[in-house]
Structure 1
Amino acid sequence: MKKPLIIALAVVVFLLAVWLIGSVTHTLEFYTISTTSNQPAYRPGDVVIASNLVKPARNKFIVFKTKDKREWIFRCIGMPGDIIEIKQTALYVNNQLQDEPFAANEYFIHNTDLKKIAGLVAKNKDVVKPMAGDSLSVITLTRPEVKAYQVKLALCSLSPGSINPNLFLDFRRWMYNEDNLGQIVVPKNAYFVLGDDRHNAYDSRFSGYVNAEDVISTVIN
């Protein structure tokens, strides 16, 4: 066997060993994103790298197991003891308004204005949902995009006190909804997670807190 081929095979075997050990021990894992819940940070088909050598931290994506043993990835917003509040989609942590350029919300937009920014919408892969029988559409944008597009928009947001039957039971009992929630205190040994696509994510608002023992790893790329 020629030397270059032996070297190539050795490299392949080494990489496979690293991947196998990393997967078993969770020290280095690769995940393929399958949902739109964390757009625009991660889109379906994107690959992320995660490691249990990195501890969860605020605004970092974490990988965790759900009650039905599935593995989910969401952004960690609240650490143990943090006070979380959402007002008309704006996030507050420990009574401080958070600057979240990565978070996307839905807005009503007139179709005339939508045509004006069609190029930017296509370039940024913004999600647009037509409203049947109406001159309006619903577009999902981050706050930087809202400022850059310079068109008239109206935030899609539930009113305080509106009920969503799919919300986490405790939050529903307290008359919260996904756009107006809290104040709540993240329990000890738990985390509060949100999807970046705030109107398209089954996160802690719906499934409750993530127990520390269920966290597998933290995304590092």
Structure 2
Amino acid sequence: MRYALYTTPAPTDPFAEAAARWLGRDAFTGALFEPPAVEGLDPAIAAGLRADPVRYGFHGTMKAPFRLAEGRSEDELVAALDTFGRENAPVTVPELVVRRLGAFFAFVPNERVGALDALADRSVIAFEAFRAPLAEADIARRRSAGLTLAEEENLVRWGYPYVFDAFRYHMTLTGRVPRDAAETVERALAAWFADQIGRPFRIDRLALFVEPEAGGPFRVRHQALLEG
């Protein structure tokens, strides 16, 4: 079993509903949907583009998936998350936009938000005591993507390469998109999320996502409101 700490819109927020229907699954309820067709894209290809992000659910990573350290319990993790929520304030992203990051598309802040980066930093540190060391297979998998020296150091120390200076907040919408399909997918995303693109996004909670079985879908187990 693995756990992760993610930001997410409230389950009743239209943003959460739009994202769940785009991906094809609601991480709060487990409900499945038929994702919208992407005009000009083969349905099988479109389904493949969503296969990876639908498993994780719509989210922004604060503490990447980890197994519990020996001697730690889920109840302790939930209690620590509630304490963290009481001690940390909400963060508002002034403008959220859709961009292509390498080979995939995601919602990202139009400009860096210092308070959000700081929240991510504190999340990485505060819950490190709950993280079991990475298995060698997990380390090898991460290294196979090609890491900078700093990312390698992060992987060894924190279990994830993209933390602190390497952190870039994003909420993934697709898997790898072939170059010749990028414009088609971008148009579809712009149309589907027209009510969210270019708007502020208030991050007012951290959610504990759980992967009960390796390779299975993540579900929301607990939410802690940011009230500091």
Per the normalisation by structure 2, the TM-score is 0.28
Which structure has more relative contact order (CA 8 Å, sep 6+)? It is 2
More strand by share: 1
CA radius of gyration, larger in: 1
| TM-score, normalised with respect to structure 1 | 0.29
Larger relative helix fraction:
2
